[in-house]
Structure 1
Amino acid sequence: MSQTVYQQHAYRSNQVPPQKPRPEKTLAQRLLSAGQRMLPWSRPTKTVSTRTAQVSPSQWQKMKATAKNQECFWNEQTLEGLTGNIWVRVYLVLSGLGKVTVLFITPVLIFTLLLGSLITAGEFGISEWGTVLGAYILYVIIPAGVVWGQFELYNRGYWKPKLLRKLLDARKLFELNRRTGMVTLYKRGGKVRYSYPFVEFDCILATTPSQQGLVNYSLLLAHRYSGSMHGVPLGVLVTPHETVAEYYRLWNMIQCYMDVTQPLPDILLLEEARPKDPTTAAYDQQTGRNPRYWRDMSDDAYAEAITQIEAKQSKMSETGPEIDIFAKAS
């Protein structure tokens, strides 16, 4: 089954095709690469980045319950780097205002109208109050309810008009495909900028000074042979301002994910996908892993488990044995 699932270019750390030497950098490229370090290719270990998309078991269960039809950005086949847009924030504000209007402002207004009718003792008749209430329902409650209701349906993956999808869906920055072994970078309009095999990329840890004089890090994949100045921004997968060691762990985890000779990284986000990946399913069956190990934990137990992993990994190497991907075939 694995032979039919994993395609020809799928990455295998024990069968890396010898790569061509890196081309010489131009002067401009050398100047732009100042302050960068190249992370090594290695045989991946089980070390993971605990800072990747932090989510607790209760948050995971809530997301699955409220968005049953929505795929996770990371599964047994693809890892997608996503970014939001300003229209999402605008729509969130409008939806929030709609919810507050329907659930809180409206009951207060109705109570005020009833109280006012009692105080005025009929000076402001029922028909006048009815006119005010009718106008409020028509011009306030209905529009607010439609915006709020549509957002709730959209968030659960049920009603996604094409125009709203174009405005609100997170924009895909890149895709790493475990089964094909390809890395794809997208342009702003969703068109493919380029797509190359995973092993043709170098992982770069770039440093830039912040306005406060601190050092900011960014992790990216740079295609070795095309000369493209556009890199794959892996750094969006972790919380900002991480330590250098954490970026090494992230790179190790990415290599593990793409390596079809290895099981998927053992993290909460990928637990549901494990039975769908042949290599991982075989590994879990052999080791007797609890298929709901992470998902059935309490939040407190999960936090404690993450703390223990971080303490254990702090005493270990962030990556496995290095691989010479440029070795000549014998």
Structure 2
Amino acid sequence: MSETVYQQHAYRSNQVPPQKPRPEKTLAQRLLSAGQRMLPWSRPTQTVSTRTAQVSPSQWQKMKTIAPNQECFWNEQTLEGLTGNIWVRVYLVFSGLAKVTILYLTPIAIFSVFLTSFIAGGIDGMIRFITGYFLYVIIPCSIIWGQFELYNRGYWKPKLLSKLLDARKLFELNRRTGMVTLYKRGGKVRYSYPFVEFDCILATTPSQQGLVNYSLLLAHRYSGSMHGVPLGVLVTPHETVAEYYRLWNMIQCYMDVTQPLPDILLLEEARPKDPTTAAYDQQTGRNPRYWRDMSDDAYAEAITQIEAKQSKMSETGPEIDIFTKAS
């Protein structure tokens, strides 16, 4: 089954096609690459970055309850790097105001009108106010809030609204095809190349406060493109160098179809759908709901134990030379 799922160009760390030597850098490229380090290719281990998309079991269950049809950005086939846009913030503000108006302001307004009418003894003004309030406040707010709830739960997504509000895709790593794709604005493909043709770069830039900021990216080795794949969006900002090494190891593990998927909460639901991982879990007897059935406290303790264990281990596996045939 795995042979039909994983395509010919899927990445296999034990069968790396020998790569052409890196081309010589121009003077401009050497100047621009100052302060950068190239992370090594290696046979990946099950070391993970615990800073990747930190979600607790209760948050995961809540997301699945609210939006059962919503696909995770990371699954058995693809890892998508996403970014939001300003229209999402505007949409959230308006839907939030509509919700507050319906749930809190409306009862106060109606109670005040009833109290005023009772004291003043006039009912005509109360009827006019309630009619106008219903037509011009309750109905519009109900439409805005109701549409938001339906959209958020994945039940109603008009194409125009989805195009406006859906997170913009920055890049895609495809485990089954072994391809890495970078997107332009508007969803157009900037380029798409095999995973093994990329170098992983850890770049450093000084902040305004004099601190060092790190960014992790994949740079295509042969095209000369100045646009990299921003892997750093997958972790919380201002991480240690070791955490970026762990992230690179986890990415290599994810793309390597000879290895099971990284054992993290985000990918637990996808594990039975990946042939290599399903076979590994069956062999090891892994609890298929190990992470999802944990309490938040138990999950936090498990993450702490992983971090303590990994602090005494190498962040990556044994290095491999991708420019010669793997042994």
TM interval, short-chain normalised: over 0.9
Quick one: distance in 1 between partners of 2:91 and 2:13? Answer: 45
Quick one: distance in 2 between partners of 1:307 and 1:122? Answer: 66
Find the residue that maps to 1:221 and give its secondary structure.
strand
Verify the 8 A CA contact 2:48 2:262 in the aligned structure 1.
yes
Residues 1:219 and 2:216 are matched in the alignment: yes
Return 5+ residue gaps in structure 1 as ranges.
Answer: 127-132
- Once structures 1 and 2 are overlaid, which stretch shifts more, 115-124 or 250-259? 115-124
Verify the 8 A CA contact 2:48 2:247 in the aligned structure 1.
yes
Deviations 1:122-153 (A, max 9, x none): 38655xxxxxx111111111111111110110
Verify the 8 A CA contact 2:249 2:316 in the aligned structure 1.
yes
Q: Is the alpha carbon distance of 1:328 and 1:122 closer, same or farther for their aligned partners in structure 2, counting shifts above 3 Å? A: closer
Shift of 1:119: 1.2
Shift of 1:41: 0.1
Verify the 8 A CA contact 2:16 2:326 in the aligned structure 1.
no
Moved over 4 A (4+): 123-126
Deviations 1:67-102 (A, max 9, x none): 111100000000000000000000000000000000
Q: Is the alpha carbon distance of 1:329 and 1:54 closer, same or farther for their aligned partners in structure 2, counting shifts above 3 Å? A: closer
Shift of 1:13: 0.2
Deviations 1:216-243 (A, max 9, x none): 0000000000000000000000000000
Deviations 1:231-263 (A, max 9, x none): 000000000000000000000000000000000
Quick one: distance in 2 between partners of 1:329 and 1:99? Answer: 59
1:150 matched to which residue of 2? 147
1:130 matched to which residue of 2? none
Deviations 1:259-314 (A, max 9, x none): 00000000000000000000000000000000000000000000000000000000
Shift of 1:118: 1.2
Q: Is the alpha carbon distance of 1:38 and 1:148 closer, same or farther for their aligned partners in structure 2, counting shifts above 3 Å? A: same
Quick one: distance in 1 between partners of 2:75 and 2:159? Answer: 25
Quick one: distance in 1 between partners of 2:165 and 2:234? Answer: 20
Find the residue that maps to 1:174 and give its secondary structure.
strand
How many residues were matched structurally? 324
Residues 1:91 and 2:88 are matched in the alignment: no
- Once structures 1 and 2 are overlaid, which stretch shifts more, 221-230 or 154-163? 154-163
Verify the 8 A CA contact 2:15 2:326 in the aligned structure 1.
no
Deviations 1:20-48 (A, max 9, x none): 00000001100000000000000000100
Return 5+ residue gaps in structure 2 as ranges.
Answer: none
Quick one: distance in 2 between partners of 1:232 and 1:42? Answer: 19
Quick one: distance in 1 between partners of 2:326 and 2:285? Answer: 38
Q: Is the alpha carbon distance of 1:71 and 1:123 closer, same or farther for their aligned partners in structure 2, counting shifts above 3 Å? A: closer
Deviations 1:93-122 (A, max 9, x none): 000000000010000011001100111123
Find the residue that maps to 1:176 and give its secondary structure.
strand
Quick one: distance in 2 between partners of 1:125 and 1:36? Answer: 72
Residues 1:302 and 2:299 are matched in the alignment: yes
Find the residue that maps to 1:125 and give its secondary structure.
helix
Quick one: distance in 2 between partners of 1:134 and 1:175? Answer: 52
Find the residue that maps to 1:184 and give its secondary structure.
strand
Residues 1:198 and 2:195 are matched in the alignment: yes
CA RMSD of aligned residues (A): 1.1
Residues 1:267 and 2:295 are matched in the alignment: no
Q: Is the alpha carbon distance of 1:278 and 1:327 closer, same or farther for their aligned partners in structure 2, counting shifts above 3 Å? A: same
Shift of 1:327: 1.3
Quick one: distance in 2 between partners of 1:217 and 1:55? Answer: 23
Q: Is the alpha carbon distance of 1:292 and 1:329 closer, same or farther for their aligned partners in structure 2, counting shifts above 3 Å? A: closer
TM-score by length of 1: 0.97
Could you tell me the percent identity over the aligned residues?
A: 90
Deviations 1:185-210 (A, max 9, x none): 00001000000000000000000000
Quick one: distance in 1 between partners of 2:195 and 2:165? Answer: 30
Quick one: distance in 1 between partners of 2:319 and 2:311? Answer: 19
TM-score by length of 2: 0.98
